[in-house]
Amino acid sequence: MSARVLELGRWHATDALRLVILASIPVAWLIAGPPSAAAMLLVLGGSMLTRIAPISSPVDLTTQAVLLAAAWCATLGLYETVPALDLIAHVASGAVLALLARALLLQAGLLPGRDGGRAAAARMLHVVSGVALLGLLWELGEWAGNALITTAIRVGYADTLSDLVADVVGAIVAVVVVELARRRAA
């Protein structure tokens, strides 16, 4: 995977989608109110992390697109009208967040970079655990939004558990694919 280096003052083609995400914040506010704008703001934060992560441009673009699509589905109320779309979004988000987390943790030296079964298992365990934690924080944010801001944010026991499981399934699939590709390349 080719890594991009953040160069101050230099634009990347993937920055165009960051501008779309930035423009989506006030549009989401106008369409569905402050909670939707807040979700778009979180997507913008994630897209900025992809800007500094040592990931390829296609992974950067895919991560941004998945997170943006998930936020727009919420803004437009599609999760209430399209069966299983919420689970699909959580699997996809879990997968791209796993790729992002793995890249950032490797870059920071917080994951073993060497080859071997134990190192690969440690990378997978840490990344999947990190995605599970991010999913938990997201679900807590949804609960807080429902309890403190608006009941339009729908939460429930079954929805929360299935979302968390979907996040973890997406993360597991992504890290297994990456580790198998790494193993084949070695």
What is the reported pLDDT for 7? 55
What is the reported pLDDT for 33? 94
62 and 98 fall within a common domain? no
End-to-end C-alpha distance for the chain, whole angstroms: 13
Asked, for residue 4, whether it belongs to a domain, the answer is: no
Calculate the CA 91 to chain-centre distance: 10
Asked, for residue 43, whether it belongs to a domain, the answer is: yes
Query: CB of 153 within 8 A of CB of 76?
Result: no
Work out the burial of residue 11: count CB atoms within 10 Å of its CB; fewer than 13 is exposed, 13-18 middle, 19 or more buried. exposed
Sequential pLDDT tens for the chain (186 residues)? 444 555 556 888 899 999 999 999 999 999 999 999 999 999 999 999 999 999 999 999 999 999 999 999 999 999 999 999 999 999 999 999 999 999 999 999 999 988 889 999 999 999 999 999 999 999 999 999 989 988 888 889 999 999 999 999 999 999 999 999 999 987
Angle at 15 (CA atoms; ends 79, 47), nearest 5 degrees: 45
88 and 121 fall within a common domain? yes
What is the reported pLDDT for 1? 43
112 and 64 fall within a common domain? no
Kindly state the tokens that stand for 180: 């198998």
Q: Which domain holds residue 48?
A: 12-79
45 and 26 fall within a common domain? yes
Q: How many CB atoms lie within 10 A of CB 82?
A: 13
What is the reported pLDDT for 40? 97
Give dist(CA 91, CA 70) in Å, integer: 11
Q: Could you give the C-alpha distances from 7 to 10, 11, 171, in angstroms and in order?
A: 6, 8, 29
107 and 20 fall within a common domain? no
Asked, for residue 2, whether it belongs to a domain, the answer is: no
- Domain end, chosen from 46, 79, 112, is at 79
Q: Could you give the C-alpha distances from 158 to 62, 124, 137, 139, 165, in angstroms and in order?
A: 28, 26, 17, 12, 11
Asked, for residue 57, whether it belongs to a domain, the answer is: yes
How many separate domains does the chain show? Answer: 2
104 and 53 fall within a common domain? no
- Domain end, chosen from 42, 64, 79, is at 79
What is the reported pLDDT for 64? 97
128 and 49 fall within a common domain? no
59 and 122 fall within a common domain? no
Half-sphere exposure of 127 (CA within 13 A, CB side): 31
Asked, for residue 88, whether it belongs to a domain, the answer is: yes
182 and 140 fall within a common domain? yes
68 and 111 fall within a common domain? no
156 and 89 fall within a common domain? yes
- Domain end, chosen from 60, 79, 98, is at 79
Give dist(CA 153, CA 30) in Å, integer: 16
22 and 113 fall within a common domain? no
Asked, for residue 100, whether it belongs to a domain, the answer is: yes
Asked, for residue 87, whether it belongs to a domain, the answer is: yes
What is the reported pLDDT for 11? 87
Per DSSP, 105 falls in state H
Asked, for residue 7, whether it belongs to a domain, the answer is: no
What is the reported pLDDT for 10? 82
Kindly state the tokens that stand for 69: 């699509």
Query: CB of 84 within 8 A of CB of 166?
Result: no
pTM of the model: 0.91
